[in-house]
Amino acid sequence: MEKFFIEIQVIARKILLKIPKNEQDIQFIRSMPYVRWNKSDFHWEVPHYPGNLEKIIAYFGDRVHSIKKSEEIPVNLKGHSTIQKDQVLMIRTNSGRIKLIFGYLTELIKHIKTIPYHHWDTK
């Protein structure tokens, strides 16, 4: 019976919703604006607009198995901080891209250039 339960995870500005396939439930989810299906992780991504979480909880009611809320980690980048030559700063953007900031490390540069779809930004 575990497969009929619904899992809700709230991460920053997104509500991730794992539900069993049911046409009525899917029509309800699609009625909300800017909803999309994540093919790779098999869940619905609903924007965390005011009222969306309450609508989802009210609609699914007792079928909701778990609700997990995670806060976004605030990043304060005031001023200019320096990175040592042997350090790498990795930033994951909202679009899912990874931005690397590091000193001149020839081995790391060679390795990054072997990755498909890399983009070198000289800033």
- The residue among 11 and 84 whose pLDDT is bigger is 11
* Spatial contact of 48 and 9, defined as CB atoms under 8 Å apart: no
Q: Which CATH class is domain 2-70?
A: alpha beta
CA 72/CA 120 separation, integer angstroms:
28
* pTM over the 0.85 mark: no
Largest CA distance in the chain: 56
Amino acid 1: pLDDT: 39
The arithmetic mean of pLDDT across residues 19-26, rounded, is 92
The arithmetic mean of pLDDT across residues 31-38, rounded, is 94
Phi and psi at residue 57, to the nearest 5°: -65, -40
* Spatial contact of 88 and 100, defined as CB atoms under 8 Å apart: yes
| Residue 38, H or E segment | strand 36-38
pLDDT at 51 over 80: yes
What's the one-letter identity of residue 46?
Answer: V
53: number of Cβ within 10 Å: 16
pLDDT band per the 50, 70, 90 thresholds, residue 30:
very high
pLDDT band per the 50, 70, 90 thresholds, residue 73:
low
Domain positions in the chain: 2-70
